[in-house]
């Protein structure tokens, strides 16, 4: 089957390349391959399985619709299944948005909802330009791609997203976040900046594909103030961060920010395709049919989604994600202390990243940022920053002279992913340079399962580290 797949499917296939398995059964955290091997799945359908595979409440909800004789596909007509989904979703929204929210059912993927959000704010403001951030990922359709970090578009102004480890200003911490906000403000207020008032700003509260980078709460609040003061709608892309993943039901709740538009997909469909935007009613200036699509009425996805949202809410799974995520991240930081090749461990809730670096490439700037073979990625986050010699520090303060983080090591990260797979653990890769091993376990993962995940990951790191013959240095890292 794998041979047939590689001879028949597109060269653009992604996960199938690094995960040569044929899943035939799955439950919770576990996937069983056609070869009988079992895997702990910390990829979770790219973060879409809040309750893991085939959770009983999800299966029951799907069976309920199938057995009821209800139509499975009804465009955007009203149905009891859709009505229940909307009520459940609205009950979870941040107060301040819930009171006067509109919902728009979009085509089924996250990228469809991003397109709808961009078009909505353009329609409502009559303006065209957009603000987006370095390292962002919003999808693969043209508009969503244009606001993602790897793209260039005349209509999109790229702003710095604060991050400690590879801070574009070389400071990290609060100072880095302050400088990032200041840059945004000055672009908007300088009449000669070349940036006219945009139609909206789109931001991920935690960058996922960009390498698991949580936005500092204070910075996100500042983005809210800056946009509100200038009448710019703020779009929060919660496609990956939503439904408890980061330790709050919606990741914007950590900062208390109420966006004007929220883009939701992945977990809201309870493992089936579903995407919506919810937004303040003042923005609802569309003409009828201004944004349509055939597949906006997936009843099974709405039923599975309702069951998922309700289960996460009733069982406090966001709180559980916060606590367990903190423990797992702390343990991984311990692992990071043992290996010089682990440059950083970060995350929020059960969205966790471990960045692998190459200490063999100079940190004096000569090789930094281009040891990945991708020419530096072009997002400006490593090379070309205004401060040449700044080693980011974690919690504010001064710049440590003459040092900067080692370049990312995507080869090692891929080796760790392979070693994980050999040990029956499925992990995701991400980050600007694909040097970040990502964990997105279901929110239902037990303490014992979390231990098993961390044990396998630690063994995989040891094996990959040994294989590239760079000695395990013991606890020598600061």
Least Å from the CB of residue 273 to ligand PMP: 8
- Report the nearest approach of ligand PMP to the CB of residue 270 (Å): 14
Find the part of the chain contacting ligand PMP (CB under 6 A) among 98-106, 135-143, 305-313, 352-360: 135-143
Report if residue 428 touches ligand PMP, rule: CB under 6 A.
no
Q: What's the Rg (C-alpha) of the chain?
A: 22
Angle CA(162)–CA(163)–CA(168) in degrees, nearest 5? Answer: 75
* Of positions 111, 163, 299, 308, contacts ligand PMP by CB under 6 A: 111
| Residue 67, token pair as written in the block | 């057995």
Measured from the CB atom, the residue of 110 and 369 that comes closer to ligand PMP is 110
Which of 432, 461, 360, 476 lies closest to 166 in space, CA to CA? 432
Q: How far is the CB of 98 from ligand PMP (least distance, A)?
A: 22
| 138 lies in the binding site for ligand PMP (CB under 6 A) | yes
Whole-number minimum distance, CB 364 to ligand PMP, in Å?
34
Q: Under a CB-based contact definition with an 8 Å cutoff, are residues 262 and 250 in contact?
A: yes
168 token code pair = 């574009």
The residue nearest ligand PMP at its CB is 110
HSE-up of residue 215 (Cα within 13 Å, Cβ side): 33
Using CB under 6 A as the binding criterion, the count of chain residues that bind ligand PMP stands at 15
Instruction: Answer yes or no whether residue 237 interacts with ligand PMP by CB under 6 A.
Output: yes
State the nearest-atom distance from the C-beta of 168 to ligand PMP, in Å: 20
Q: Which is nearer to ligand PMP, 213 or 342 (CB)?
A: 213
Query: Is residue 116 within 8 Å of 102, Cβ to Cβ?
Result: no
Of 45, 173, 208, 430, the one binding ligand PMP (CB under 6 A) is 208
Using rule CB under 6 A, residue 110 touches ligand PMP:
yes
Six token digits for residue 188: 């908007």
139 binds ligand PMP (CB under 6 A): yes
Among 92, 157, 246, 265, binds ligand PMP (CB under 6 A): 265
* Contact (CB, 8 A) for 191 and 224: no
Question: Burial level of 437, CB count in 10 A (0-12/13-18/19+)?
Answer: buried
44 is a site residue for ligand PMP (CB under 6 A): no
CA atoms lying within 13 Å on the CB side of residue 145: 5
- The distance of closest approach from Cβ of residue 204 to ligand PMP in the complex, given in angstroms and rounded to an integer, is 5
Listed ranges 104-112, 222-230, 444-452, 462-470: which one lies at the site for ligand PMP (CB under 6 A): 104-112
- State the DSSP code for 28: B
Q: Is 240 in the site for ligand PMP (CB under 6 A)?
A: yes
Calpha distance 89→99 (Å, rounded): 12
The CA–CA distances, whole Å, from 305 to 86, 101, 309 equal: 10, 19, 6
Give the CA distances from residue 243 to residues 94, 174, 307, 395, in Å, rounded to whole numbers and listed in that order: 12, 28, 12, 28
Provide the minimum distance between the beta carbon of 31 and ligand PMP in the complex, in angstroms, as a whole number. Answer: 19
Nearest distance in Å: CB 449, ligand PMP: 24
46 contributes a contact to ligand PMP by CB under 6 A: yes
Q: Which two tokens stand for residue 423?
A: 């040990």
Segment contacting ligand PMP (CB under 6 A): 56-64, 201-209, 216-224, 383-391? 201-209
Alpha helices of 192-265 — where are they, by DSSP H? 217-229
Q: How far is the CB of 351 from ligand PMP (least distance, A)?
A: 10
Which of 204/465 has CB closer to ligand PMP?
204
203 close to 121: Cβ distance less than 8 angstroms: no
Residue 114, interface with ligand PMP (CB under 6 A)?
yes
CB count within 10 Å of CB 466 equals: 12
Q: Which two tokens stand for residue 216?
A: 């500092």
Beta carbon of residue 238, minimum distance to ligand PMP (angstroms, whole number): 8
Give me the sign of the Cα torsion angle 397, 402, 407, 413: negative
Residue 184 contacts ligand PMP per CB under 6 A: no
Residue 285, both tokens: 């200036």
Considering the rule CB under 6 A, would residue 134 count as an interface residue with ligand PMP?
A: no
Asked if residues 271 and 48 have their Cβ atoms less than 8 Å apart, the reply is yes
Binding segment for ligand PMP (CB under 6 A), chosen from 159-167, 234-242, 337-345, 398-406, is: 234-242
CB of 48 to ligand PMP, least distance (A): 8
Shorter beta-carbon distance to ligand PMP: residue 242 or 390? 242
101 vs 326: CA distance, rounded Å: 32
Tell me: does residue 209 bind ligand PMP (CB under 6 A): yes
Q: Which is nearer to ligand PMP, 46 or 101 (CB)?
A: 46
Cα distance between residue 65 and residue 63, in whole Å: 5
Q: Based on the shown chain and the rule CB under 6 A, indicate whether residue 269 belongs to the binding site for ligand PMP.
A: no
Binding to ligand PMP by residue 202, rule CB under 6 A?
Answer: no
**Which phi and psi angles does 93 have, rounded to 5°?**
-65, 155
Among 239, 283, 357, 416, binds ligand PMP (CB under 6 A): 239
Interface ranges with ligand PMP (CB under 6 A): 46, 109-111, 114, 137-139, 204, 208-209, 237, 239-240, 265
């Amino acid at each position: 089957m794998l041979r047939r797949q590689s001879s028949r499917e597109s060269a653009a296939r992604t996960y199938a390349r690094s995960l040569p398995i044929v899943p035939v059964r799955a439950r919770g955290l576990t996937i069983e391959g056609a070869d009988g091997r079992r895997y702990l799945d910390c990829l979770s359908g790219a973060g879409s399985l809040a309750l893991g595979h085939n959770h009983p409440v999800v299966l029951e909800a799907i069976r309920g619709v199938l057995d009821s004789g209800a139509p499975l596909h009804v465009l955007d007509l009203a149905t009891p299944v859709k009505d229940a989904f909307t009520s459940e979703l609205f009950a979870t929204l941040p107060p301040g948005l819930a009171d006067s929210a509109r919902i728009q059912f979009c085509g089924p993927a996250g990228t469809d909802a991003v397109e709808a959000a961009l078009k909505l704010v353009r329609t409502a403001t009559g303006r065209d330009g957009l603000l987006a951030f370095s390292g962002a990922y919003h999808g693969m359709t043209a508009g969503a791609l244009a606001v993602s970090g790897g793209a260039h578009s005349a209509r999109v102004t790229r702003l710095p997203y604060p991050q400690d480890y590879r801070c574009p200003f070389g400071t990290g911490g609060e100072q880095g976040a302050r400088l990032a906000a200041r840059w945004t403000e000055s672009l908007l207020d300088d009449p000669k900046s070349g940036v006219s008032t945009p139609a909206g700003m789109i931001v991920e509260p935690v960058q996922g594909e960009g390498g698991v980078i949580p936005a500092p709460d204070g910075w996100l609040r500042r983005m809210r103030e800056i946009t509100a003061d200038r009448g710019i709608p703020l779009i929060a892309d919660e496609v990956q961060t939503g439904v408890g993943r980061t330790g709050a039901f919606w990741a914007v709740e950590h900062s208390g920010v109420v966006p004007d538009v929220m883009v939701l997909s992945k977990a809201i469909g309870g493992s089936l395709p579903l995407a919506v935007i919810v937004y303040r009613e003042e923005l609802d200036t569309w003409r009828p049919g201004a944004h349509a699509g055939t597949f906006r009425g997936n009843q099974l996805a709405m039923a599975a989604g309702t069951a998922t949202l309700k289960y996460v809410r009733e069982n406090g799974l966001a709180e559980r994600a916060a606590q367990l995520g903190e423990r797992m991240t702390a343990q991984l930081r311990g692992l990071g202390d043992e290996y010089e090749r682990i440059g950083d461990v970060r995350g929020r809730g059960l969205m966790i990243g471990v960045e692998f670096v190459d200490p063999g490439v100079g940190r004096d700037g000569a090789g930094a940022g281009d040891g990945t073979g991708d020419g530096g990625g072009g997002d400006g986050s490593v090379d070309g920053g205004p401060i040449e010699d700044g080693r980011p520090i974690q919690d504010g303060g001064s710049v440590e002279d003459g040092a900067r983080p080692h370049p990312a090591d995507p080869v090692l990260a891929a080796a760790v992913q392979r070693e994980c797979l050999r040990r029956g653990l499925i992990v995701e890769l991400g980050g600007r340079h694909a040097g970040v091993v990502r964990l997105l376990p279901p929110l239902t993962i037990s303490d014992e399962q979390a231990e098993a995940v961390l044990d396998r990951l630690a063994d995989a790191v040891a094996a990959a580290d040994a294989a590239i013959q760079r000695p395990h240095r013991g606890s020598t890292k600061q």
